[in-house]
């Protein structure tokens, strides 16, 4: 009976290994991202994306599209998130459905991490080449060392055509032209299969011995040394020696075959050129702010002073990529994602033109289902319940001014 139980246990363990292997080999396609699960304070108080443009909504395989715009690095960066001293401009997509052909910040090519300054605004552009057909949610994203990925607004983009026709040609330093999509693919498959088989053989060797409970009993009874036999030690040494020899031999062979190589570029680019935005002539003081839970609306009392020489009106409030607009002042014509746009979501108690030198206290309401859909309302449960965003003012000539706001947010449940 004991022999039967041991065999059943071993077979179960092997079956578990095979099941795990199957899950590794099978990777279902994802269609969107989990940006809604990212803490609201991170989306509000880190990177503010604005003036975004997705150049195309439908792209054939092998053709390119660009995502461009601006981002403001919030000066009130939360203390719980590492500063963007080492950050990487990225694009959030569900796998390699695009390849990145190039990315730029302030007109400078940024193939690696950069250092960003708090309180500065930067222009960016990312060039993408379509690879896999389907409908994909394409996001802006900034990876911050120690802070994780900070996901920006996303838009659905359709890739048409056949993935079989995709090519990714490059020219090497020695003048050879390669297609990275399938170059040396058989060699890649061989080495992945070889190391997978070697690892599986190692696991199967130990799975043939008593597992879990018998070993636990032996350890507790002080017989742990008896679990490893001289043969086991020899097998372990053979695996170790064989692995070292294979790695050394394959490395030597590769160096001989490809003598001209360059290392991966892992340095940090500094001195990114920010946008020189003219100082705003409008000043805003947040007197108080609250989020009304039943109405899915944030209400602010703002004292606005116009120190310029032209009347201005408040037309937009942008936070965490969600844009609340007053259609009487500004309408979006950029094709911004509908789920992130509240075209009539901003109301101001008195939004008549604010004359030069005038100061006015107004009640501003930003309301839309996006507060709940994108879980921004979770901010009221944060230990440091603060909101942040960008206010945009327009004068009669269509000139725009940007003002940053940051203040505590108090929930209202009635």
Strands 58-60 vs 312-319: parallel, antiparallel or unpaired: unpaired
Strands 87-92 vs 359-367: parallel, antiparallel or unpaired: unpaired
CB count, 10 Å around CB of 344? 13
Ordered per-residue pLDDT tens for the chain, 414 residues: 444 444 445 445 545 555 555 544 444 444 455 677 788 888 999 999 999 999 999 999 999 999 999 999 999 999 889 999 999 999 999 999 999 999 999 999 999 999 999 999 999 999 999 999 999 999 999 999 998 899 999 999 999 999 999 999 999 888 889 999 999 999 999 999 999 999 999 999 988 877 778 778 878 888 777 778 889 899 999 999 999 999 999 999 999 988 888 888 788 999 899 998 888 999 999 999 999 888 889 999 999 999 999 999 999 999 999 999 999 999 999 999 999 999 999 999 999 999 999 999 999 999 999 999 998 888 878 777 889 999 999 999 999 999 999 999 988 876
| Residues 367, 377 contacting (CB under 8 angstroms) | no
Q: What is the topology classification, in CATH, of domain 38-174?
A: Jelly Rolls (2.60.120)
Strands 410-412 vs 400-408: parallel, antiparallel or unpaired: unpaired
In CATH terms, is domain 282-412 a member of 2.10.10.90?
no
- CA-wise closest residue to 133 among 154, 164, 102, 155: 164
What is the CATH code for 181-257? 1.10.287.710
Q: pTM of whole model > 0.85?
A: no
Cα–Cα dist 362/301, whole Å = 6
Residue spans in the chain of domains classed CATH 1.10.287.710: 181-257
Residue spans in the chain of domains classed CATH 2.60.120.570: 38-174
Residue spans in the chain of domains classed CATH 2.60.40.1580: 282-412
Cβ contacts of 8 within 8 Å, gap of 6 or more: none
Tokens at residue 79, please?
A: 């203390």
């Amino acid at each position: 009976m004991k022999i039967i139980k041991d065999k059943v246990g071993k077979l179960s363990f092997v079956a578990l290994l095979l099941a795990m292997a199957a899950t590794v080999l099978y990777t279902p396609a994802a269609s969107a991202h989990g940006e809604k699960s990212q803490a609201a304070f991170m989306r509000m108080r880190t990177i503010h994306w604005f003036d975004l443009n997705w150049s195309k909504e439908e792209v054939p395989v092998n053709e390119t599209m660009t995502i461009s715009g601006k981002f403001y690095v919030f000066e009130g960066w939360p203390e719980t998130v590492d500063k963007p001293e080492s950050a990487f401009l990225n694009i959030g997509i569900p796998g390699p459905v695009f390849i990145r052909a190039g990315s730029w910040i302030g007109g400078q090519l940024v193939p690696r991490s950069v250092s960003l300054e708090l309180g500065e605004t930067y222009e960016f552009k990312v060039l993408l080449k379509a690879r896999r057909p389907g409908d994909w949610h394409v996001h802006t994203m900034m990876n911050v060392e120690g802070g994780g990925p900070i996901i920006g607004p996303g838009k659905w983009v359709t890739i048409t055509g056949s993935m079989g026709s995709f090519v990714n040609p490059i020219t090497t330093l020695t003048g050879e032209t390669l297609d990275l999509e399938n170059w040396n693919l058989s060699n890649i498959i061989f080495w992945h299969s070889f190391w997978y088989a070697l690892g599986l053989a190692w696991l199967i060797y130990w799975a043939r011995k008593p597992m879990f409970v018998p070993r636990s009993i032996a350890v507790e009874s002080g017989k742990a040394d008896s679990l490893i036999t001289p043969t086991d030690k020899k097998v372990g040494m053979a695996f170790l020696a064989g692995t070292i020899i294979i790695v050394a031999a394959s490395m030597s062979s590769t160096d001989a075959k490809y003598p001209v190589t360059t290392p991966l570029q892992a340095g940090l680019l500094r001195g990114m050129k920010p946008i020189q935005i003219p100082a705003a002539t409008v000043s805003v003081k947040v007197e108080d702010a609250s989020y009304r839970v039943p109405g899915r609306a944030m209400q602010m009392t703002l004292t606005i002073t116009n120190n310029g020489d032209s009347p201005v009106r408040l037309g937009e409030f942008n936070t965490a990529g969600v844009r609340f607009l007053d259609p009487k002042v500004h309408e979006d014509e950029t094709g911004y994602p509908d789920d992130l746009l509240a075209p009539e979501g901003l109301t101001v108690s008195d939004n008549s033109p604010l004359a030069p030198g005038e100061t006015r206290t107004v009640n501003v309401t930003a309301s839309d289902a996006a507060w709940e859909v994108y879980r921004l309302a979770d901010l009221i449960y944060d230990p440091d319940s603060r909101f942040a965003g960008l206010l945009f003012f327009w004068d009669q000539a269509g000139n725009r001014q940007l003002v940053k706001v940051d203040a505590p947010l108090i929930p209202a449940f009635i």
